[in-house]
Amino acid sequence: MNGLAHIFLHVGLCSAVEKLPSQAIVPMHVRMLIPHGDPPYDQILNVPRGDGREEVVEFDVNRGTYHLTIEVPKYSCRSSNYIMVLGDQNRKVNATLVDGSTPIEPPTLLLDGTAPISFQYTKPTYVLFDKSVVCKAPIGTPLPSHIDVDYDQGAYYFTMYADPSLYVTPPVFALRFRTPTGLAHYVRLPIHLPTDAAFWPFNIEFDISEDMVDALATEQTDVLLCPKIWGTSAG
């Protein structure tokens, strides 16, 4: 898991670029920023305008957490995404250019890891509950949340955007797995956010095995499960 990751960057176009004629050259400044030091990827790419509503750019980077920025100064468009990258993986990343005056919301939490194909069949996502929810108890209604979910071959990536109230009253985090009958398993994750919001999102790496997914088949649905074999490493 320490090798390079190949990034397939799908750039959704802003209205100004989308209106350009086919084969027009669009200069895009693509950077993969890190908290300290020079960006490991920093290129101005002259991308020919195609016929669709997005363009695809490919490059390699090392494993890590990055602030991906894309700028098209000529047409006042930009994009900002925080992403985690696993080594020895292909990663599809979707980024949409917006008008330069449009606010871009930073994420609060990044969660990713390796996972078997069977994991994707359960349509997993993570959900938040009030801290009053305890192990083996009914889960009730999840708290409102904005969560993006991406899957690739052998890996998953969740991005959560949250309001500052999460730092005042930390929620209970759980992974939700859908069953073939339409019910769901909820597995608690021992995630603890820092006491204050930071300029760089909190990130968790959490690998899921085939055995972990299979073990849920005999567990109760719609209660908070707290199996000891599930663990995380935070950074």
Closest CA to 66 of 88, 83, 90, 86: 83
What's phi and psi for 23, nearest 5 deg? 80, 0
Tokens 């999460």 belong to residue: 166
pLDDT in tens, the chain (235 residues): 567 889 999 999 898 888 888 888 889 999 999 988 899 999 998 888 877 788 888 999 998 899 999 999 999 999 999 999 988 888 999 999 998 888 888 887 888 888 988 888 888 888 889 888 988 999 888 888 888 888 888 889 988 886 666 767 778 889 999 998 889 999 998 877 766 666 788 888 888 889 888 888 889 999 999 887 665 444 4
Q: What is the pLDDT of residue 230?
A: 67
Task: Compute and round to an integer the Cα radius of gyration of the chain.
Answer: 19
Closest CA to 59 of 127, 112, 125, 8: 8
Q: What is the pLDDT of residue 59?
A: 92
- Report which DSSP code applies to 218: G
Q: How far apart are the first and last CA of the chain?
A: 16
Q: Does domain 5-99 have CATH number 3.30.70?
A: no
118 alpha carbon, distance to own chain's centre: 19
Closest CA to 109 of 162, 66, 175: 162
Q: Which residues contact 99 (CB under 8 A, 6 or more apart)?
A: 14, 15, 76, 77
